[in-house]
Amino acid sequence: MDALSLHRLQFAFTAGFHYLFPQLTMGLALLIVVLKTLALRKGDPVYDRSAKFWARIFGLNFLMGVVTGIPLEFEFGTNWARFSEAAGGVIGQTLAMEGTFSFFLESTFLGFFLYGEKRLGPRGHWWAAFLVFLGSWLSGYFIVATNAWMQHPVGYEIRDGEIVLTSFLALLTNPWLVGQYLHTMLGAVVTASFVMAGTAAYYLLGGRHETEARAFLRVSVPAGLAAALLLAFPTGDSQAKLVYKHQPATFAAMEGHFETSPRAPLVLIGQPDMGRLELDNPLHVPGMLSFLTHYRFTGEIKGLRDFPREEWPDNVPLLYYAYHIMAGLGTIFIGAMALAAWRLWRGTLHVSRATLWILLLLIPFPYIANTAGWMTAELGRQPWVIHGLMRTRDAASENVAEGNVLFTLIGFLGLYALLALLFAVLAGREVEKGPA
Amino acid sequence: MDLPALWFCLVSGMLALYVVFDGFDIGAGILHVFAKPEGRERIRGSLGPYWHGNVVWLLAGGGTLYFAFPAVYARAFSGFYLPLMLVLWLLVFRALGLELAEHVHHRVWKPFWGVCFGLSSLLLAVVFGAALGNVVRGVPLDANGRFFAPFWTHFGTEGKVGVLDWYTVLAGAVAALVLTFHGALWLAQAIGGGWGAVARRLHWPVGIAVALLTAASFSVQPHIVERLTEHPSGFAFPLLAIGGYIGARRFLESGRAPRAFLMSCVMVAALLASAVFGLYPYLLPSNGDPSLGLTAQGTAAPAYGLKIGLLWWIPGMALVAVYFTVLFRTFARRAEPGGTGH
């Protein structure tokens, strides 16, 4: 494999593995604030016990997020030196702000949150939880701002071949950013909601910790339903429209839309055949893609065949699958949470075994959907590292030989296998111990 | 002072604070290797609420370097590819070791994670010291300002050098010793015990080792000598370091451990400031032709970004000062007898 592929593979692997943790951190931080608020408002000790239990999982998950996150900041320099040299003056702003404004906030108040309950009292401890939540969501904002700039660069000009930041405000209010940020955060809330609801289902199916489990459900099911709905509309919808407007070849590729047509169908299932440039075994809704994009069934949508080859994302089938897995799972999440919410509202969720089984077995899927969502964003941006400005093939470090990248990729594979195993064992142990 | 010079100071200041803050938990980690089991428990307990915040100085300092001097970040990080990956893996094991030794209650695995924490702390101190040694010595930059450093080549400081040579290995060993001293002083004020005595025993060795490293640095990097001769005001930093060094001893003798620790903070920061002052305007000098070195002015981001940066950096750091003050005040009492903090 050539050096560029290895650089890409290592970054994709380390970033993908990392994001398994912050999505739960960010979502759970919000749900813990909700639990702490209920504990203060209602004075029911079950919410305090629940918050304590989730704080233990949170601490472990946060640790994994930190140790897998540091490599990413390093890799910008180690693996993507030419990209960093060209774009550091712009995205360095958001990355340095993340360190200054969110990491310090998060980590300091995590100390208070995990160690300071007795010292701070209930109100002080609520504030510690809230500031950890604020820090983690700010962190998401700065990271998504960085990514949004790479998807849709704004606030810059080219001076003597160099990318120069000209508007800091434009960087922080990138039109791409608002939708992408909310979409990402809602994805995190869906993960945390399914983890919390699934854990509750696990306890209820086993006849353990029933009081706490029902408290988990009262918080996670409404949150999960709201987040799953908002993920599809308006945030997912607006993201797709932005991709259509600014990255039209990517839009055609991720939808599996090869031929320009005035009544473009929405593809549900099918396998892209890159030899014949067609979709095999397609299952689609006629005219629906035109409708979703233009709000009329006859709006023309340009197919991938009509874009020059150098504008195509370099892995069309993977992009297509990533997008369809994300969107398909997103739809399933709405259905599952709607079912659970209906039963919760009727007061029968805790005894509806079939629904509880669904919630339990769905735990891994929001992780898959979030990963597939990031793959859609990143594969969709190809062949560009900064859309329209710098190609990925010009971005990697030239001075690092492929043997060195392979060496560290193997190292990361081994190390992260160990981390995954440790996390599974330790989180499993906490779940077995349960809320005391 | 021009903007690149200002940001040179701010980035150096953040990295110095990283060494002061994470330095004490790295030093405590090294001492953890030599402590008895119940002593180990207390060492880890004294770091619990702090270490997350301490390590953020590395990320925030690195991020600020990235924003202010993107070309240096890109070229130094890709050039030091292998040692930085080693740093990353050590940081992972250190964090896991510290947290899991604290939270896993198992007769086999608890001591295992404790040893992990201790050994990765020791190695990290050596690697950071060697890294600083590399920056002082300079690297074989080519005409495009790029280089790649293998782990080692011929162990000399000229030509195609590796990350490890006689000078950087010396710097690594001295760094480990200095941070051990710094860590002992942290423990002396946080948990007492015999840690004050340990710090006293380390005092002379630290002084001799730093003097030795200083002499070696003068011979390896003549730019430092030139710069100090041209700007004698820079002697303020080594004098401050000596002041901290003597002050730490004085306060230890009179039993005022918290002040002794503060003196050690001054010493560590001033030692770094001395090196950085000596290197200016270079962020990364060349070990061959000095004109190839990467300077602050030659690699800074454009002025607009650097000006805007001040607008958020100043309030940002003011907030951080508040967080750290509140954190250290709140948990300072945990060290009192009988307080376990959990």
Which residue of B48, B78, B91 is in closest CB contact with A400?
A: B78
Which residue of A70, A100, A401 is in closest CB contact with B316?
A: A100
Q: Do A81 and B313 touch (CB under 8 A)?
A: no
Q: Do A79 and B82 touch (CB under 8 A)?
A: no
- Alpha carbon of A293: minimum distance to chain B alpha carbons (Å): 38
Which residue of A88, A108, A166 is in closest CB contact with B74?
A: A88
Residue in chain B lying closest to A56 (CA): B103
Residue numbers of A between 67 and 86 with CB closer than 8 Å to B: 67-68, 70-71, 73-74, 76-85
**What is the pLDDT, as a whole number, of residue B62?**
95
- Alpha carbon of B2: minimum distance to chain A alpha carbons (Å): 17
pLDDT at A331 over 60: yes
Q: Which two tokens stand for residue B287?
A: 């070990």
pLDDT at B341 over 80: no
Q: Do B64 and A109 touch (CB under 8 A)?
A: no
Q: Do B74 and A81 touch (CB under 8 A)?
A: yes
> Does any domain span residue A59?
yes
Q: Quick check: A320 and A272 in contact, CB under 8 A?
A: yes
> Which of chain A's residues have a Cβ under 8 Å away from the Cβ of B100?
422, 426
Q: What is the pLDDT of residues B97-110, one digit of tens each?
A: 999 998 888 899 99
Q: Do A107 and B56 touch (CB under 8 A)?
A: yes
Residue in chain B lying closest to A425 (CA): B104
> Which of chain B's residues have a Cβ under 8 Å away from the Cβ of A81?
74-75, 77-78
**What is the pLDDT, as a whole number, of residue B333?**
58
Q: What is the mean pLDDT of residues A68-82?
A: 96
Q: What is the mean pLDDT of residues A216-242?
A: 96
pLDDT at B342 over 60: no
Confidence band, pLDDT 50/70/90 cuts, at residue A218: very high
Residue in chain B lying closest to A411 (CA): B89
**What is the pLDDT, as a whole number, of residue A117?**
87
Confidence band, pLDDT 50/70/90 cuts, at residue B331: confident
Distance from C-alpha of B143 to C-alpha of B289, rounded to nearest angstrom? 10
In this structure, are strands A384-386 and A278-285 parallel, antiparallel, or unpaired? unpaired
Q: Do B312 and A401 touch (CB under 8 A)?
A: no
Distance from C-alpha of A373 to C-alpha of B330, rounded to nearest angstrom? 41
Q: What is the mean pLDDT of residues B248-262?
A: 94
- Alpha carbon of B230: minimum distance to chain A alpha carbons (Å): 32
Residue numbers of A between 175 and 214 with CB closer than 8 Å to B: none
Residue in chain A lying closest to B141 (CA): A399
Q: Do A112 and B49 touch (CB under 8 A)?
A: yes
> Which of chain B's residues have a Cβ under 8 Å away from the Cβ of A105?
319, 323
- Alpha carbon of A167: minimum distance to chain B alpha carbons (Å): 9
Residue in chain B lying closest to A57 (CA): B103
Identify the residue among A14, A25, A78, A412 best suited for mutation to test binding to B, counting B beta carbons within 10 A and taking the highest.
Answer: A78
Q: Do A92 and B301 touch (CB under 8 A)?
A: yes
Burial class (CB in 10 A: 0-12, 13-18, 19+), B163: buried
> Does any domain span residue A36?
yes
> Which of chain A's residues have a Cβ under 8 Å away from the Cβ of B309?
93, 96
Which residue of A88, A111, A168 is in closest CB contact with B327?
A: A111
Q: Do B63 and A92 touch (CB under 8 A)?
A: yes
**What is the pLDDT, as a whole number, of residue A160?**
84
Place of tokens 């809602």: A186
Domains of chain B: 3-330 (1.20.1630.10)
Mean pLDDT of the residues in chain A: 95
> Does any domain span residue A429?
yes
Which residue of B58, B71, B147 is in closest CB contact with A399?
A: B147
Q: Do A166 and B95 touch (CB under 8 A)?
A: no
Q: Do A81 and B85 touch (CB under 8 A)?
A: no
**What is the pLDDT, as a whole number, of residue B103?**
85
Domain span holding position A252:
3-260+302-433
Q: Do A108 and B52 touch (CB under 8 A)?
A: yes
**CA nearest to A99, candidates B56, B82, B163, B185:** B56
Q: How many A/B residue pairs have CB atoms within 8 Å?
A: 212
Residue numbers of A between 92 and 111 with CB closer than 8 Å to B: 92-93, 95-101, 103-105, 107-111
> Does any domain span residue A280?
no
Which residue of B56, B84, B331 is in closest CB contact with A74?
A: B84
Q: Quick check: A10 and A409 in contact, CB under 8 A?
A: yes
- Alpha carbon of B282: minimum distance to chain A alpha carbons (Å): 17
> Does any domain span residue A110?
yes
- Alpha carbon of B48: minimum distance to chain A alpha carbons (Å): 7
Confidence band, pLDDT 50/70/90 cuts, at residue B329: confident
> Does any domain span residue A227?
yes
Residue in chain B lying closest to A120 (CA): B330
Kindly report the pTM of this predicted structure.
0.95
pLDDT at B113 over 50: yes
SS3 letters for chain B?
Answer: CCHHHHHHHHHHHHHHHHHHHHHHHHHHHHHHHHCCHHHHHHHHHHHCCCHHHHHHHHHHHHHHHHHHCHHHHHHHHHHCHHHHHHHHHHHHHHHHHHHHHHHCCCCCHHHHHHHHHHHHHHHHHHHHHHHHHHHHHCECCCCCCCCCCCCECCCCCCCCCCCECHHHHHHHHHHHHHHHHHHHHHHHHHCCCCHHHHHHHHHHHHHHHHHHHHHHHHHHCHHHHHHHHHCHHHHHHHHHHHHHHHHHHHHHHCCCHHHHHHHHHHHHHHHHHHHHHHHCCEEECECCCHHHCEEHHHHCCCHHHHHHHHHHHHHHHHHHHHHHHHHHHHHHHHHCCCCCCC
**What is the pLDDT, as a whole number, of residue B1?**
78
Q: What is the pLDDT of residues A42-67, one digit of tens each?
A: 989 999 999 999 999 999 999 999 99
If DSSP codes are grouped into helix, strand and coil, which group holds residue A261? Answer: strand
Q: What is the pLDDT of residues A90-146, one digit of tens each?
A: 999 999 999 999 999 999 899 889 888 888 899 999 999 999 999 999 999 999 999
Number of structural domains found in chain A: 1
Mean pLDDT of the residues in chain B: 92
pLDDT at A231 over 80: yes
Q: What is the mean pLDDT of residues A327-338?
A: 98
Q: Do B70 and A67 touch (CB under 8 A)?
A: no
Which percentage of chain A shows pLDDT scores above 70?
100
> Does any domain span residue A272?
no
Q: What is the pLDDT of residues B16-32, one digit of tens each?
A: 999 999 999 999 999 99
Q: Quick check: B46 and B102 in contact, CB under 8 A?
A: no
Q: Do B316 and A101 touch (CB under 8 A)?
A: yes
> Does any domain span residue A266?
no
Which residue of B52, B313, B320 is in closest CB contact with A110?
A: B52
> Which of chain A's residues have a Cβ under 8 Å away from the Cβ of B77?
74, 76-78, 81, 84
Residue numbers of A between 387 and 416 with CB closer than 8 Å to B: 397-401, 404, 407-408, 411, 415
